[in-house]
């Protein structure tokens, strides 16, 4: 067995130029898959965390009727008497913290101009922990983080809205909104911060105030929902299942259910990656098969001689299979080295990608080294190279000895 395997090694390097070309082709295909998979993983993780850290959290809790019916007026199906629920969820070992949230809308004015706004009542300290990396405070702070004067209400607005209202830190703005009871109420807030989400549609409309300020404006003790932040995103499915069984009276929605856009992007990228994979596999099969076919053609007399002295056809067939296996192993080793080299080089260059559609901020180009994917692609490469060798190997083992000896 070892003797024939050693013979296969010699045969692989008999035509060095052709072998190098084949191995290089397969290695580049290998590297392309690894680098693409690493980039996709970075995009998926980055997009997922941008949704979670941008305000969605890992799990959100709603009144059950909120997910089943359409509200006729603001906070019709809001959460009420939620403190026991909040405390129970907060005590779970996998929960980092739970925060209250109110969403509302209305008009904001600086005394001269009036704009429509989308409001969010938040718990400032907890919100800043969640949103530090993805909701950037360009000026000032979250409302309520810095102690205000007695009776003074604070708020933060999106960058675009601040520009439209020509508002600066310390200016006063008036918020007008309808209450759940159908009345209108207005309050004055002092601008404590200007933030940017990177999404112009949000930055042109959003106003953020403390949860107590929102309840004062809306004249209610209800909230829209509770936002649960976990220690790890990977804990979401099992934690969600546990909460749903324990608290059947309310609705729990995971971050993935709240962000269907994420699932659409993942599906789109995976389809593209699948097409790329098929193309690369086809190239690998073509390159390996061509190399083995040329090898059979060039060594026809040699094969006939080996068969004529009593070597079994199975042994000839296995000899070519060994060669395909060796090409696969060699290509995988070189491909792995190339992959890590390219990944390290790109990550060290600190390159940035242009802003994605709907956003205004660029993001760093980073490729994640996926060790498990490298192992899978290594096995796949070896299998594909062996499979590509099957037909040429079969032809070699079935050669007619007399005709092959006379081959020119």
Domain positions in the chain: 2-51+262-405, 80-223
**pLDDT range class, residue 269, cuts 50, 70, 90:** confident
- Dist. CA 14–CA 223, nearest whole Å: 76
Q: Is the pLDDT of residue 143 over 80?
A: no
Of 62, 366, 356, 365, the closest CA to residue 197 belongs to 356
**pLDDT range class, residue 404, cuts 50, 70, 90:** low
**Residue 17 and residue 325 in contact, taking contact as beta carbons nearer than 8 Å:** no
pLDDT value at residue 217: 94
pLDDT value at residue 360: 65
Of 167, 168, 185, the closest CA to residue 176 belongs to 185
Q: Is the pLDDT of residue 133 over 60?
A: no
Higher pLDDT, 192 or 287: 192
By three-state DSSP, how is residue 336 classified? helix
pLDDT value at residue 318: 80
**Could you report the per-residue pLDDT of 383-396, keeping only the tens digit for each?**
988 888 888 777 77
**Could you report the per-residue pLDDT of 271-303, keeping only the tens digit for each?**
988 898 888 888 888 888 887 777 777 777 777
**pLDDT range class, residue 81, cuts 50, 70, 90:** confident
Sign of the CA dihedral running 19, 22, 25, 26: negative
pLDDT, mean of residues 313-329: 83
Instruction: Choose the weakest-confidence range: 44-48, 148-152, 324-328.
Output: 148-152
- Dist. CA 10–CA 4, nearest whole Å: 10
Could you tell me which residues come within 8 angstroms of residue 156 by beta carbon, excluding any fewer than 6 positions away? 137, 140, 141, 142, 143, 191, 192, 193, 194, 195, 207, 208, 209
Of 338, 350, 356, the closest CA to residue 50 belongs to 356
Give the HSE-up count for residue 14: Cα atoms under 13 Å, Cβ half-sphere. 15
pLDDT, mean of residues 165-183: 92
Which DSSP category does 222 fall into? -
Q: Is 184 exposed, middle or buried (0-12, 13-18, 19+ CB in 10 A)?
A: exposed
**Could you report the per-residue pLDDT of 216-250, keeping only the tens digit for each?**
999 999 999 999 999 999 999 999 999 999 998 89
């Amino acid at each position: 067995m070892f003797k024939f395997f050693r013979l296969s090694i010699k045969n692989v390097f008999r035509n060095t130029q052709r072998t190098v070309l084949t191995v290089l082709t397969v290695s580049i295909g290998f590297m392309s898959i690894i680098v693409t998979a690493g980039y996709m993983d970075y995009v998926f993780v980055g997009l997922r965390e941008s949704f979670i850290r941008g305000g969605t959290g890992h799990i959100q809790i709603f009144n059950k009727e909120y997910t089943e019916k359409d509200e006729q007026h603001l906070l019709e199906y809001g959460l009420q008497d939620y403190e026991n629920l909040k405390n129970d969820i907060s005590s779970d070992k996998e929960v980092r913290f739970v925060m209250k949230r109110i969403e509302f809308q209305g008009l904001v004015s600086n005394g001269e101009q009036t704009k429509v706004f989308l409001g969010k009542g938040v718990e400032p300290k907890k919100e800043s922990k969640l949103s530090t990396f993805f909701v950037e405070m360009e000026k000032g702070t979250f409302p309520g983080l810095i102690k205000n004067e007695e009776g003074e209400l604070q708020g933060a607005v999106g960058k675009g809205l601040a520009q439209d209202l020509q508002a600066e830190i310390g200016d006063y703005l008036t918020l007008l909104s309808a209450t759940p009871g159908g009345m209108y109420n207005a309050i004055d807030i002092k601008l404590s911060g200007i933030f940017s989400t990177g999404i112009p549609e949000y930055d042109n409309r959003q106003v953020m105030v403390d949860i107590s300020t929102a309840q004062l404006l809306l004249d209610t003790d209800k909230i829209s929902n509770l936002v649960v932040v976990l220690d790890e995103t990977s804990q979401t499915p099992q934690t969600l299942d546990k909460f749903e069984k324990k608290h059947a009276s309310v609705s729990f929605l995971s971050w993935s259910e709240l962000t269907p856009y994420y699932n659409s992007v993942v599906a789109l990228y995976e389809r593209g990656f699948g097409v790329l994979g098929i193309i690369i596999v086809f190239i690998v099969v073509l390159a390996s098969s061509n190399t083995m076919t040329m090898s059979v053609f060039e060594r026809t007399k040699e094969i006939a001689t080996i068969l004529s002295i009593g070597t079994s056809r199975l042994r000839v067939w296995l000899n070519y299979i060994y060669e395909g296996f060796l090409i696969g192993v060699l290509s995988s080793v070189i491909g792995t080295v190339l992959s890590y080299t390219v990944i390290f080089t790109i990550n060290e260059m600190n390159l940035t990608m242009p802003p994605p559609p709907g956003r205004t901020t660029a993001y760093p180009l980073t490729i994640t080294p996926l060790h498990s994917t490298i192992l899978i692609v290594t096995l796949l490469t070896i299998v594909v190279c062996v499979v590509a060798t099957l037909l040429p190997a079969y032809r070699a083992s079935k050669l007619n000895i007399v005709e092959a000896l006379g081959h020119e």
